[in-house]
Structure 1
Amino acid sequence: MATPDPETDETRATAEDVARHSYGRLVASLARRWGDLTSAEDALADAFERALKAWPQSGLPDQPEAWLLKTAHRRLIDETRQSGVRARAEPDIERLLEDLSRTADHNALPDDRLGLMLACAHPDLDPALHTPLMLQAVLGLDAARIGAAFLVSPAAMGQRLSRGKARLRERGARFEKPGTDQLSTRITPLLNAIYAAYGTGWDEIGASESRVRGLAEEALYLSGVLTELAPDIAEVWGLYALIRHCEARTPARRNRAGGFVPLSDQDPALWCEESIHSAEAALHRALKLAAPGRYALEASIQSVHAERRVTGATNWLAAAALYDGLIRQTPGLGALTARACAYGEAFGAEHALSLLGEISDQATDYQPFWAAQGHWLAQARRGQDAREAYERAMALSTDPAVRTYLSERVQAL
């Protein structure tokens, strides 16, 4: 058996640490200077490979990030020279390298991630590509990992990502932070993409979390990055508060046997107090900056649920009123279904069923709707109708634990 090489292990550990914490910043800096996301990613990958070979021989550099950035830039410069296309005159190239050296000396790499994230949410791209592009460009996730999260084969996801990057190159996408006025108008697709990565419908009755659980940490990280890069935009804080509130309940979503536990049955003592406090602070900041938008309203609803940890009860009248406000802004199917449940809790099953009836035509294949329908039909003592609704919800569920939970509800009728 070969003896482990401590220097090689340290080198790899350092490279992995830089990749984990700085990948997005490095890609963003390269993309901003060269205007090509694919070339930036390839150059950075080559720089990491060179680091693994060079650092065990030469020793770890004082500033690993700057070393990687400079190495990646040199590769891009060499490719430009070899192709015969001079994107910059030689003096400009030398000035660029001098700037990089000064950056290394001062340990102050610029953070261009916001520009990169906004480019990934470019309006000329298919909105379905916004989230996958961001996950790859900012976090370095590969096509297989992203494809698995979105139920797409690695090959198909790889092709989609390549087409998206080519589209950005064709459109001359700018990988830099826009002015304040532009930022406020362009931030919504970015927020939507991050929330899509996290997943919607966590707390609807019978909703499944298995399809999005794997991206939750990445989405939380991205939302936290935004609070650093765009701290004056209220909805940035609203989204962060929303995700933190949802994450606080992660320990209570499964029982010891791995069974699904809906929000109404969760033990609030298991919710993460630290995460709740962080969410509340972010929500407070969002509401101080502006009137509540979609994400601040959704976070406010989660805040109402979080109060149960202290009071032992949920203020369903407040939740219903907040859902009314949310639907005036964003009348999505998830919000409409959740509002019906809130009204049911506040005013009785018939109110819930009436509101669910108004959206039944839109909800043919929407699993949370059928789970909610089954619940409120059962509350109204309409056993056979409840059974049919629950069975429909089971058929639409992708999570075995949720199907088991719904089966138990049928058996209890």
Structure 2
Amino acid sequence: MPNDLNHGSHRVAEQIARQSYGRLVAFLAARTRDLPGAEDALADAFAAALRLWPSEGIPENPDAWLLTVARHRQTDALRRHQTRQKGMEHLSLMAEEIEAATAAPAEIPDRRLALMFACAHPEIECAMRTPLILQTILGLPAHDVAAALMISPATMGQRLVRAKARIKNLGIAFSLPERQDLPERLDAVLEAVYAAYARGWNEIEPGDTPQLVEEAVWLGELTVQLLPDEPEAKGMLALMLYAEARRSARRDADGAFVPLEQQNTALWDVHRIGQAETLLHQANRAGPSGRYQIEAAIQSAHTARRLSGQTSWPAIVALYEHLQTIVASPVVALNHIAALAETKGPIVAHQAIVALAADKRMADYQPYWATRGHLAARAGYKDDAYEALTLAIGLSSDEAVRQYLRQQIVGLRDG
């Protein structure tokens, strides 16, 4: 029984860490403007929860409990490092707000969006704004942030430490900037939200939507409400909704992976598609097309199969070619090659994907090897197909995807 209680406490703490981490960090950091300090305080609170909850029981409102413990940790740190007069004034203000929040835990302010725009401050290195948002507000570990942005984990960890120190040294306010300053910070916020969504997209639970996906869509909706005239915000939200519309079709009744081109379109969520189409039309009327609008347009072209039974591959190829002029990304190049196979044939596409291997970031990128294996098999290059599919299996963390790739290898052996 004690082991079961201990396991249950750990499970609850992990769930809260995923669901509430960013919200609690943003709230704690709002007063002190000390992001590393807020993270340290919350980490201590989680450690205390794992130590005490198994014997004392899980509190009725775990968020409020964590917030209170973290607040005590923060006040101790402030007492050590600030002058008495300044420190006591600061402590009093912070204590009043946090005590009010813990007394009404359902009303704890959600300051994540403000913190996201703070992390996109012009004084922070441009390349670090998105990683900072991903780790701090959305709670992704540094190695996941590194993987999402194709940077080595060691390099990413060092850069994150420097970026947080810069926030503290500059005293950057964790509040929404003036409205006129929001657009210049928007790109980093959108990139982080969509990167979080893409990370959650790969976490598939039968009959459930991953928490990270729900958070990303919610933040996307909040950003559109904050900046209703920004077409790229609507484009990104549309892009996520198009993908969410296909969630129930990604697995068959037995839980097996189903690739996009084989999905049953009757399982696609028509309501979500309608929401995405409306957002995309509004975005396109608002100004020149950006990255997210084009990617959403590609997904819109895929949804046309619901009505015609056929995918508009020439339009998709043209959209990817336009996207490549805006985003110099190997991932965009990979998706363009996959679409090119449907218009120019697998041999032409295979030649292009082999050339893409010169980009070192592809070496550990699972979709590259899965796509290369698929194209090689279609082109009749069995040896390359076998090698690429084997690598793709080794790089995949999803058992359903691994089984799908194994079946492709069996197909090679069967001719």
TM-score by length of 2: 0.70
Corresponding letter in the other structure for 2:183: S
In the other structure, the counterpart of 1:117 is 116
Shift of 1:218: 0.8
Counterpart secondary structure, 2:137: helix
Q: State the Cα deviation string for residues 155-207 of structure 1 (Å, max 9, x = none).
A: 9998876565345434544433223343222222232233333448x9xxxxx
In the other structure, the counterpart of 1:240 is 237
Q: State the Cα deviation string for residues 200-255 of structure 1 (Å, max 9, x = none).
A: 8x9xxxxxx86x65996414413421421453233233223222322333333344
CA distance in structure 2 between the partners assigned to 1:49 and 1:376 by the alignment: 48
After superposition, the Cα gap between the structure-2 partners of 1:152 and 1:182, relative to the gap in structure 1 and judged at 3 Å, is closer
- Which is worse superposed, 403-412 or 66-75? 66-75
Q: Which runs of 5+ in 1 are unaligned?
A: 6-10, 203-208
Q: Quick check: 1:356–1:369 contact (8 Å CA) kept in 2?
A: no
TM-score by length of 1: 0.71
Q: Quick check: 2:190–2:233 contact (8 Å CA) kept in 1?
A: yes
CA distance in structure 1 between the partners assigned to 2:259 and 2:358 by the alignment: 22
CA distance in structure 2 between the partners assigned to 1:295 and 1:254 by the alignment: 26
Q: What is the aligned residue count?
A: 393
In the other structure, the counterpart of 1:363 is 357
Structure 2 residue 24 is the aligned partner of structure 1 residue 26? yes
CA distance in structure 2 between the partners assigned to 1:332 and 1:148 by the alignment: 15
Counterpart secondary structure, 2:219: helix
Aligned identity (percent) is 37
Structure 2 residue 186 is the aligned partner of structure 1 residue 187? yes
Counterpart secondary structure, 1:261: coil
Q: Quick check: 1:220–1:243 contact (8 Å CA) kept in 2?
A: no
Corresponding letter in the other structure for 2:222: E
Shift of 1:298: 0.9
Q: Of 318, 321, 331, which residue of structure 1 is paired with 2:318?
A: 321
In the other structure, the counterpart of 2:212 is 218
Shift of 1:129: 8.7
Q: State the Cα deviation string for residues 52-106 of structure 1 (Å, max 9, x = none).
A: 989xx9xx99x99778657754543343224453583645554555566777899
In the other structure, the counterpart of 1:205 is none
**Larger relative contact order (Cα-Cα within 8 Å, sequence gap ≥ 6):** 1
Q: Of 318, 332, 335, which residue of structure 2 is paired with 1:335?
A: 332
After superposition, the Cα gap between the structure-2 partners of 1:395 and 1:49, relative to the gap in structure 1 and judged at 3 Å, is closer
In the other structure, the counterpart of 1:8 is none
Structure 2 residue 305 is the aligned partner of structure 1 residue 308? yes
After superposition, the Cα gap between the structure-2 partners of 1:301 and 1:164, relative to the gap in structure 1 and judged at 3 Å, is same
Counterpart secondary structure, 1:334: helix
Q: Quick check: 2:375–2:385 contact (8 Å CA) kept in 1?
A: no
Structure 2 residue 388 is the aligned partner of structure 1 residue 393? yes
Corresponding letter in the other structure for 1:239: M
CA distance in structure 2 between the partners assigned to 1:118 and 1:405 by the alignment: 45
Provide the aligned C-alpha RMSD in A.
Answer: 4.9
In the other structure, the counterpart of 1:39 is 37
Within 5 A, what are the aligned runs for 1:146-161? Answer: none
Q: Quick check: 2:193–2:220 contact (8 Å CA) kept in 1?
A: no
- Which is worse superposed, 18-27 or 322-331? 18-27
Counterpart secondary structure, 2:23: helix
Q: Which runs of 5+ in 2 are unaligned?
A: 397-401
Counterpart secondary structure, 2:310: coil
Corresponding letter in the other structure for 1:394: L
After superposition, the Cα gap between the structure-2 partners of 1:86 and 1:130, relative to the gap in structure 1 and judged at 3 Å, is farther
In the other structure, the counterpart of 1:206 is none
Shift of 1:141: 5.9
Shift of 1:34: 0.7
Within 5 A, what are the aligned runs for 1:6-405? Answer: 22-44=20-42, 72-73=70-71, 75-86=73-84, 88=86, 90-91=88-89, 93-95=91-93, 97-98=95-96, 109-120=108-119, 124=124, 127=127, 130-131=130-131, 133-140=132-139, 165-170=164-169, 172-199=171-198, 217-231=211-225, 232=227, 233-256=230-253, 259-345=256-342, 347-349=343-345, 353-354=347-348, 357=351, 360-364=354-358, 366=362, 368=367, 372=371, 375=374, 383=380, 386-397=381-392, 398-399=395-396, 400-405=402-407
Shift of 1:294: 0.8
In the other structure, the counterpart of 2:399 is none
Q: Quick check: 1:390–1:406 contact (8 Å CA) kept in 2?
A: no
Corresponding letter in the other structure for 2:307: V
Shift of 1:126: 8.9
Q: Quick check: 1:143–1:154 contact (8 Å CA) kept in 2?
A: yes
Q: Quick check: 1:198–1:216 contact (8 Å CA) kept in 2?
A: no
CA distance in structure 2 between the partners assigned to 1:17 and 1:356 by the alignment: 43
